[in-house]
């Protein structure tokens, strides 16, 4: 059993939960995730480990309440317990000193981006962070990301905060300026956003890394649910990823797989019995 230390709402349907998990807190690397199961018979949910405090023995998870299982998890108050937290799983982010990097977070993907930005900043990179959302209410972790970033930019689709438009607009400005060309770009968010970023950096051959969120069931490479096409190879996001070279990712195939269970998920969520885990992790 894993003790919930704190649980706070940080945006609409989005919770920040700190959970006692000393072994995971000690072993985890940025980019890794855990499989969380609230109780016996419940769905397993993959959640990115957004932060960890090895001295306190805690991990921080951002959880978007999008279905019955995630709603049940976020309903667990501080002092409550989660039955299973398995991990750390997946490969960590490759953190080196690239020099100049751009990190892009779309919507709730920003919470997955956060540990990457932190690790890249700690490795001495000059980090430009761009985060975007539909409106100011959907901008996450601005206060936490600002001190880690040499340049911090916000976009909103309605113009209520930062620059009006998509995250890709400031990226286009950066890519057009020879003095600001990054050595690497990291992007986490909706599939169309990651695909757009990949197409923008491809002509200049800028290394671009995306974190993928396919459907996951076991999280250990056994079920094949999370398979993604990377170049000529089929990979499992849970053991081979979740981060991949964006220029090799079949984003259209990923989109198809993400939408193929929508009807079933809607029905199962209604019955509160969904057994399919999507990486709602944020």
The verdict on 225 binding ligand FES (CB under 6 A) reads: yes
> Contacts with ligand NAD in 223-282 (CB under 6 A)?
279, 282
149 lies in the site for ligand NAD, by CB under 6 A: no
| Residue 174 · residue 181 · CB < 8 Å | yes
| Residue 139 interacts with which of ligand FES, ligand NAD, none, CB < 5 to 8 Å by class | none
Angle, to 10 degrees, between the axis of helix 251-259 and the axis of helix 191-201? 180
Does residue 52 belong to the site contacting ligand NAD (CB under 6 A)?
no
To the nearest whole angstrom, how small is the minimum distance from the Cβ of residue 4 to ligand NAD?
21
Which of the stretches 14-22, 69-77, 89-97, 131-139 binds ligand NAD when contact is defined by CB under 6 A? 131-139
Q: Binding ligand FES by CB under 6 A: which of 111, 131, 217, 274?
A: 217
Q: How far is CA 271 from the centre of its chain?
A: 27
CA distance 114 to 39: 28
Q: Judged by CB under 6 A, which of 62, 114, 152, 236 binds ligand FES?
A: 236
Exactly one of 223, 229, 258, 265 binds ligand FES (CB under 6 A); that residue is: 223
Q: Are 176 and 201 in contact, with CB atoms under 8 Å apart? A: no
Q: Which of 83, 134, 164, 202 binds ligand NAD (CB under 6 A)?
A: 134
Nearest-angstrom CA–CA distance, 192 and 8:
30
- Residue selected from 185, 206, 216, 274 as contacting ligand FES according to rule CB under 6 A: 216
- Please name the residues in contact with 188: beta carbons below 8 A apart, sequence gap of 6 or more: 104, 105, 106, 109, 110, 112, 113, 116, 194, 210, 211
CB 57 within 8 A of CB 20: yes
Asked if 192 interacts with ligand NAD (CB under 6 A), we say: yes
Out of 196, 200, 209, 246, the residue judged to bind ligand NAD by CB under 6 A: 196
Among 107, 109, 219, 241, indicate the residue that binds ligand FES (CB under 6 A): 219
Burial class of residue 86 (count of CB atoms within 10 Å of its CB; 0-12, 13-18, 19+): middle
As a whole number of angstroms, the distance between CA 233 and CA 141 comes to 35
Residues that bind ligand FES (CB under 6 A): 216-219, 221-226, 236, 238
Residues that bind ligand NAD (CB under 6 A): 106-109, 112, 132-134, 138, 155, 157, 166-168, 188-190, 192-193, 196, 211-213, 279, 282
């Amino acid at each position: 059993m894993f003790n919930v230390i704190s649980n706070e709402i940080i945006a609409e349907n989005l919770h920040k939960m700190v959970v006692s998990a000393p072994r995971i807190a000690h072993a985890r690397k940025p980019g890794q995730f855990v499989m969380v199961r609230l109780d016996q018979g419940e769905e397993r949910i993959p959640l990115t480990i957004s932060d960890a405090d090895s001295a306190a023995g805690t991990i921080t998870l951002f959880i978007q309440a999008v279905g019955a299982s995630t709603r049940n998890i976020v309903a667990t108050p501080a002092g409550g317990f989660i039955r299973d937290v398995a991990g750390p799983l997946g490969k960590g982010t490759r953190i080196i000193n690239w020099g100049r990097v751009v990190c892009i977070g779309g919507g709730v993907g920003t919470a997955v981006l956060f540990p990457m930005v932190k690790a890249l900043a700690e490795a001495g990179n000059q980090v430009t962070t761009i985060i975007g959302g539909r409106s100011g209410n959907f901008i996450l972790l601005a206060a936490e990301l600002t001190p880690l970033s040499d340049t911090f930019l916000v976009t909103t689709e309605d113009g209520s905060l930062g620059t009006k438009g998509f995250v890709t607009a400031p990226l286009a400005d950066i890519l057009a300026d020879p003095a600001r060309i990054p050595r690497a770009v990291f992007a986490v968010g909706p599939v169309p956003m990651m695909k757009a970023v990949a197409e923008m950096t491809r002509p200049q051959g800028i290394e671009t890394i995306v974190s993928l969120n396919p459907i996951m069931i076991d999280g250990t490479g056994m079920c094949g649910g999370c398979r993604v096409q990377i170049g000529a190879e089929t990979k499992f996001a849970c053991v081979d990823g979740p981060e991949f070279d964006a220029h090799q990712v079949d984003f259209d195939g990923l989109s198809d797989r993400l939408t193929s269970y929508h009807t079933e998920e809607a029905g199962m969520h209604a019955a509160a019995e969904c057994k399919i885990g999507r990486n709602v992790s944020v």
